[in-house]
Amino acid sequence: MTPDPDPAQDPTRDTAQEPAQEPVQDGARRLAHAPVLDVDPLLDDPTTRIVVCCGSGGVGKTTTAAALGLRAAERGRKVVVLTIDPAKRLAQSMGIDSLDNVPRRVKGTDGDGELHAMMLDMKRTFDEVVEAHADAERAAAILANPFYQSLSAGFAGTQEYMAMEKLGQLRARDEWDLIVVDTPPSRSALDFLDAPKRLGSFLDGKLIRLLTAPAKLGGRAGMAFLNVGMSMMTGTLGKLLGGQLLKDVQTFVAAMDTTFGGFRTRADATYKLLQAPGTAFLVVAAPERDALREAAYFVERLAAEDMPLVGLVLNRVHGSGADRLSAERAIAAAENLEAADLEAADHQPADHEAGENEAGENEAGENLEESRIVDQGGGKAGLRNSPDTYGSSEPPAPAPSGSRPDESPSSGPADMTDESPSSSSSPENPDRTVDQLTAGLLRLHAERMQLLSREQRTRDRFTARHPEVAMVEVAALPGDVHDLAGLRDIGDRLAAGRPELP
Amino acid sequence: MSRLQVVSGKGGTGKTTVAAALALALATEGKRTLLVEVEGRQGIAQLFETEALPYEERKIAVAPGGGEVHALAIDPELALLDYLQMFYKLGGAGRALKKLGAIDFATTVAPGLRDVLLTGKACEAVRRKDRAGRFIYDYVVMDAPPTGRITRFLNVNDEVAGLAKIGPIHNQAQAVMRVLKSKETAVHLVTLLEEMPVQETADGIAELRAARLPVGRVIVNMVRPEVLDAADLELVRTVPRTAVAQALSGAGLGGARRGGKAGQLVDPLLAQAAEYAERYALEHEQRAVLAELDLPRHELPLLAEGMDLAGLYELATELREQGMS
């Protein structure tokens, strides 16, 4: 059913079950001590057969799984991505309008590899298990049972169990080099690892035995206690659930009897498959407190279960190309500009002078020099641009001033003749507009820097707790992913090891 | 105003935060609310900066004007034993059931039973009265499962009532359903101004409506402040970089020429503005999609310093001012 994941290839991985990749090149550049997770060697390694992406909801788990799958395929591997509940747009991004329970080839990938994608249909998967393990008549009886129908359509844990079941099936078919699995958005981190065992032990357990075969047990000496417990219990359950539901359960269990052994064996096999070398767990998170707390929990849980964790993918990390300018200084500068604006509005003609005072206050005379040089540069730029073009794209400002917003009244001889002398004091005063805009840019930057430092603090807290976990940061995208190009872009970011700036 | 306020939302949208803020907002002016957690995450305890909540109602916060917020983390297993005790006086037998795995069966495996217990407990708190016949809690706020599961979660009683056609579970399920489908209940959905959460919200509302569950409001969470407006963004596309460099220099940020300190800032700042513009357009679109849902909508700001207890009170005030309570 579930083949051993190729023990012949193991020795290398056994020793390097931590990241199979050397976190060398980027390590020195990072502030925190976390090693960098390098995804390409992981995806390229032929002994990597399963990649499991887990993490809390809303952190981009499915997108990460799809991007990794595409990247591996375009690097030459034959890949299948098993998604649980992809957003419509994501399914469409893989060119598949409706993913279903069968892997479909994704068109438009580059290179020699192949990408297939599928979406888990848990009821269908459950039905298949039943059909595979019972004869036709029995299978039909089970499928028609109301208790089974509820059970398969979604009690807590079915989705998790069926995801693992499907993974086992895909692995057993051995058609793909690499299976990338997205995990269900569980109630808690525990469910995903526990549910298969829980369902397995329930379907295989003594409660079910008691429900189905009271007569068998009753006869034996020493089982009298159980028998008492059993009759009390079925009595209570009968009272609680209503006799008819209990009967449904009993019929279901009786019909399932032959497949019981199978359930536990399968759950155990899947569990072992997850622990085996060849499987790589990636915990996906965003640099937010809750998501990283869940991530820490996953990391601890995976370690406790001997599951091979290779690292953490930290999605939606922000950067800035101007990160030397602190939030505080940016705000101070914005306030400076806004204050200067007010002044300028009060003393209209003194515009230029005000600017000079500003510069004089804050910087040495050298800067003043520079401003003047730039004044001229700006003037030239203004001349190169036709006033009409700007005028049409920016209706509120008078065309000529719009064309040269950087120009102070005293330094633009070329245009002076065309302009009304009062233009600099009009409400659309170009300096004011640019100053306002610049103040806005600075405030935007301050906001970005605050976000950045919050994200860093959150990340560092995680790293302090789990310095051994290799990490890759993926820069935030302003929009959502809509096509393979978008997924490819995320794949590039995943492989780059740190966010591109800004 | 419905007395049972159910708060759902896509993962990562901050539904627990919103539920907590709503409980605080509803508790102002001497009211008493119960904040209920059903997913065993202990998110409420973390938000209110207290130790993990037991299966027991306890006061966790005081609202302005003397109101109180109580909290309860429902543990389905204990809720079932509670329930058995209440209706059948099954003290010791409960333990025997547990030993046999029946409780585990009932709370984790039996279809829907777990959810029946969770919603049942919340509905019980809604209906509970003191000796004088007044409601113990003015409002019950539930931090519910995410949007993708909310309809099934709330509607599971219907399913169970169908599955268990007679008996106390059947009756219980029907009683719960009567509360959930009445005006006593409102289901709110929390979203972000991003494509996927908005889409999921729209889908969730359609599902809730199809199941005839009462949809309340849409709460847009973590709304970023508008730093640049449409006119600014128009100007960003056309402004000569030298002009910005000069303005930066004028603000005291160094030399404006290309190699100067202020000059070096221009490109990254404009790039950030371009990103902002893209997001701004996207948010605009998403607002339009939300507007089509034809539901009352509230917006809560993104707190620059991250979520903490003070921030929670801030959001509660915001909800109150927006007339959500």
Residues A371 and B257: their CA atoms lie apart, in Å, by 8
Query: Are A313 and A354 in a shared domain?
Result: no
Give the confidence band of A272 by pLDDT, cuts at 50, 70, 90.
confident
Query: Are A62 and A168 in a shared domain?
Result: yes
Q: How far is A314 from chain B (nearest CA, A)?
A: 14
Give the confidence band of A98 by pLDDT, cuts at 50, 70, 90.
low
Binary contact (B100, A442; C-beta < 8 A): no
**Which residues of B fall within a CB distance of 8 Å from A237?**
102
**Interface test mutation site (partner B, options A122, A250, A290, max chain B beta carbons within 10 A):** A290
Binary contact (A85, B152; C-beta < 8 A): no
Q: Which amino acid is at A184?
A: P
Order across the sheet with A309-317: list the strands: A104-105, A114-119, A78-83, A178-182, A50-54, A279-285, A309-317, A471-475
Residue A330: inside a domain, yes or no? no
Residue A154: inside a domain, yes or no? yes
Query: Are A134 and A175 in a shared domain?
Result: yes
Query: Are A251 and A379 in a shared domain?
Result: no
**3-class SS at A151?**
helix
Give the confidence band of A100 by pLDDT, cuts at 50, 70, 90.
confident
DSSP label at A317?
A: E
- Confirm or reject contact between B93 and chain A (CB < 8 A): yes
Q: Which of residues 32-51 of B touch A (CB under 8 A)?
A: 39-41, 43, 46
**3-class SS at A407?**
coil
Query: Are A310 and A360 in a shared domain?
Result: no
Binary contact (B251, A336; C-beta < 8 A): yes
Q: How far is B209 from chain A (nearest CA, A)?
A: 21
Query: Are A58 and A179 in a shared domain?
Result: yes
- Please tell me the predicted confidence (pLDDT) of residue A271: 82
Mean pLDDT value across chain B = 88
Residue A460: inside a domain, yes or no? no
Q: How far is A337 from chain B (nearest CA, A)?
A: 6
Q: Which of residues 174-233 of B touch A (CB under 8 A)?
A: 194-197, 199-200, 224-225, 227-228, 231-232
- Confirm or reject contact between B85 and chain A (CB < 8 A): no
- Confirm or reject contact between B242 and chain A (CB < 8 A): yes
CB-based contact B70:B32 (threshold 8 Å): yes
Q: What percent of chain A has pLDDT over 70?
A: 57
Residues A230 and A477: their CA atoms lie apart, in Å, by 58
Mean pLDDT, rounded, for A228-244 = 60
- Please tell me the predicted confidence (pLDDT) of residue A199: 63
Binary contact (A440, B227; C-beta < 8 A): yes
Residues A452 and A318: their CA atoms lie apart, in Å, by 6
CB-based contact B280:B240 (threshold 8 Å): no
pLDDT, greater one: A207 or A149: A149
Q: What percent of chain B has pLDDT over 90?
A: 59
Q: Is the pLDDT of residue A443 over 90?
A: yes
- Please tell me the predicted confidence (pLDDT) of residue B167: 74
Domain holding A407, by residue range, is 349-432
Query: Are A36 and A142 in a shared domain?
Result: yes
pLDDT, greater one: B97 or B305: B305
Q: Give the closest of A87, A236, A374 to B196, CB-based.
A: A87
| No. of helices (H) and no. of strands (E), chain B | 13, 8
Query: Are A313 and A360 in a shared domain?
Result: no
Q: Which amino acid is at A96?
A: I
**Interface test mutation site (partner A, options B166, B189, B253, B283, max chain A beta carbons within 10 A):** B253
Q: How many domains does chain A have?
A: 2
Query: Are A96 and A239 in a shared domain?
Result: yes
Residues B71 and B50: their CA atoms lie apart, in Å, by 11
Residues A472 and B223: their CA atoms lie apart, in Å, by 27
Binary contact (B252, A88; C-beta < 8 A): no
Residues B27 and B137: their CA atoms lie apart, in Å, by 10
Q: Give the closest of A291, A362, A447 to B227, CB-based.
A: A447
pLDDT, greater one: A6 or A265: A265
Binary contact (B238, A57; C-beta < 8 A): no
Mean pLDDT, rounded, for B149-153 = 88
- Confirm or reject contact between B108 and chain A (CB < 8 A): yes
Binary contact (B252, A358; C-beta < 8 A): yes
Mark out the alpha helices in A155-223 (DSSP H runs): 158-173, 189-204, 206-212, 214-218
Give the confidence band of A270 by pLDDT, cuts at 50, 70, 90.
confident
What CATH number did the domain enclosing A75 receive? 3.40.50.300
Q: What percent of chain A has pLDDT over 90?
A: 32
- Please tell me the predicted confidence (pLDDT) of residue B77: 78
CB-based contact B156:B116 (threshold 8 Å): yes
For residue B197, whether the previous peptide bond is cis, meaning omega lies within 30 degrees of 0, is no
Q: Provide ipTM, 2 decimals.
A: 0.85
Q: How far is A407 from chain B (nearest CA, A)?
A: 8
Q: Where are the domains of chain B?
A: 4-224+302-321, 230-277
Query: Are A188 and A243 in a shared domain?
Result: yes
Which residues, at least 6 apart from B3, have a Cβ–Cβ distance to it below 8 Å?
B126, B135, B137, B138, B139, B140, B184, B185
Binary contact (B12, A202; C-beta < 8 A): no
pLDDT, tens digit, for every residue of A113-161? 999 999 888 888 888 888 887 788 888 888 888 778 777 765 556 777 7
- Please tell me the predicted confidence (pLDDT) of residue A205: 61
Query: Are A275 and A215 in a shared domain?
Result: yes
Phi/psi at A109 (5° precision): -85, 150
pLDDT, tens digit, for every residue of B159-199? 777 777 777 778 878 888 999 999 999 999 999 999 889 99
Minimal-distance CA residue of chain B relative to A286: B12
Q: Give the closest of A286, A362, A441 to B273, CB-based.
A: A441
Q: Is the pLDDT of residue B105 over 80?
A: no
Mean pLDDT value across chain A = 72
Minimal-distance CA residue of chain A relative to B106: A237
**Interface test mutation site (partner A, options B196, B305, B312, max chain A beta carbons within 10 A):** B196
Binary contact (B105, A187; C-beta < 8 A): no
Q: How far is A481 from chain B (nearest CA, A)?
A: 10
Residues B325 and B313: their CA atoms lie apart, in Å, by 14
Query: Are A281 and A386 in a shared domain?
Result: no
Residue with tokens 């359930």: A263
Give the confidence band of A209 by pLDDT, cuts at 50, 70, 90.
low
**Which residues of B fall within a CB distance of 8 Å from A377?**
242, 257
- Does the domain at B4-224+302-321 match CATH 3.40.50.1110? Answer given as no
